[in-house]
Amino acid sequence: MSGTVAVLGAGTMGAGIAQACAAAGHRVLLHDISDEARQRGVAAVHSSLERFVSRGKLEQAEAEAVLARLQPVSDLGQLGEAETVIEAVPENLNIKEAVWRDAAAAADPQALLATNTSSLSVTQIASFTGGSEERFCGLHFFNPVPMLPLVEVVRGQLTSAETIERAVAFTEGIGKTPITCNDTPGFIVNRLLIPYMSDAIHALAEGVGSPEDIDRAMKLGANMPLGPLALCDLVGLDVALAAAESLHAEFQDPKFRIPPLLRRMVQAGKLGRKTGSGFYDYGKEG
Ligand SMILES: NC(=O)c1ccc[n+]([C@@H]2O[C@H](COP(=O)([O-])OP(=O)(O)OC[C@H]3O[C@@H](n4cnc5c(N)ncnc54)[C@H](O)[C@@H]3O)[C@@H](O)[C@H]2O)c1
């Protein structure tokens, strides 16, 4: 696999996407706003690769080759070298607008342009590219990117069929499994997953069962690998609440109603595993 990929934003998702692309043989330009942020992204890729090496899943030489394909860049001027541009900056429309106004102008006019947004409108983000809407789509990766195979390839209102074909081929080329979907709130995974977790929280608040019983019920009765409340602790209650709020606001449908208990727990700082406490106690942080 060859071809240069530019990744905008070197945080949790940007670093993971950069790693997946470099591991598949792409040269990767990794852009972020500060040298510190770029270095943090490279360090995250480095330690993830080291974990693969220590588990015997990757040769040391291959890990070094992957890292060598990663190039931190400060100047968007270099974007013209990329065939594919994937944006993973914070989930904030103003930031995405500022980034895409500059990035679309700097990118090769033939490049595939994609956003990793989870909950914003792909169609709206495409409008910030000023005329490149046809070659713009969503590429929604899942965290942690090196481990999770799915990518939702999201068709905006103006995305061309050719762009979706290119995006699917690109995704398969980096060893991921794409599904295609239209640009509707939550795409497929969050549209189904968030109400499922919310219903489990409503059931808990109504006293239907304990967290252990609710989770055990879904694990042993529905063959889920993880119960919905343990899953919510893993995702982060703040992240789940933000996604629930977005679905509720966009669909305006009571089936997406937000559990008051979820909001109270977030207000109390009980965010799940990352704070050491959520629906379960984890003893200490992490
Ligand atoms: N974290 C997840 O589980 C997850 C999963 C799927 C999709 N997403 C989506 O991925 C995107 C990124 O999320 P994240 O969790 O990686 O966020 P993050 O906060 O970890 O990383 C964002 C990065 O963008 C950088 N940034 C900020 N402004 C920038 C700019 N103007 N130009 C370049 N870089 C800039 C920040 O310095 C930071 O390094 C969001 O749209 C989010 O909704 C997140």
Give the model's pLDDT for residue 284. Answer: 66
Task: State the closest ligand 1 atom to the C-alpha of 34, by its place in the atom list counted from 1.
Answer: 37
Residues within 6 Å of ligand 1 by CB: 8-14, 31-33, 37, 88-91, 95, 98-99, 116-118, 141, 143
Take atom 7 of ligand 1 and give the residue whose Cα is closest. Answer: 118
- By annotation, the residues acting in catalysis are 118, 140, 152, 190
Residue nearest atom 2 of ligand 1, based on CA coordinates: 143
Q: For ligand 1, atom 15, which residue shows the shortest CA distance?
A: 12
What Rg, from alpha-carbon coordinates, does the chain have? 20
User: Rounded to two decimals, what is the model's pTM?
Assistant: 0.94
Distance 19 CA to ligand 1 centre (A): 15
Q: Report which ligand 1 atom has the smallest distance to the Cα of 118.
A: 43
Ligand 1 center to 119 CA (angstroms): 13
DSSP class per residue in the chain: ---EEEEE--SHHHHHHHHHHHHTT-EEEEE-SSHHHHHHHHHHHHHHHHHHHHTTSS-HHHHHHHHHTEEEES-GGGGGG-SEEEE---S-HHHHHHHHHHHHHHS-TT-EEEE--SSS-HHHHHGGGSS-GGGEEEEEE-SSTTT--EEEEEE-TT--HHHHHHHHHHHHHTT-EEEEEES-TTTTHHHHHHHHHHHHHHHHHTTSS-HHHHHHHHHHHH--SS-HHHHHHHH-HHHHHHHHHHHHHHH--GGGPPPHHHHHHHHTT--BGGGTBSSSB-SS--
Q: What is the pLDDT of residues 5-43, one digit of tens each?
A: 999 999 999 999 999 999 999 999 999 999 999 999 999
Rounded to the nearest angstrom, the distance between the alpha carbon of 114 and the centre of ligand 1 is: 14
- Using CA positions, which residue lies closest to atom 9 of ligand 1? 117
8 bridge partner residues: 31, 87
Q: What would the mean pLDDT of 159-163 be, rounded to a whole number?
A: 98
- The pLDDT tens digits of the residues spanning 94-139 come to 999 999 999 999 999 999 999 999 999 999 999 999 999 999 999 9
Q: How confident is the model at residue 283 (pLDDT cuts 50, 70, 90)?
A: confident
| pLDDT at position 286 over 80 | no
State which ligand 1 atom lies nearest to the alpha carbon of 11. 21
Sheet of strand 150-155, all strands in order from the earlier edge strand to the far edge? 70-73, 27-31, 4-8, 84-87, 112-115, 136-141, 150-155, 177-182
Peptide bond into 254 cis (omega under 30): no
Asked whether the predicted pLDDT for residue 169 surpasses 90, the reply is yes
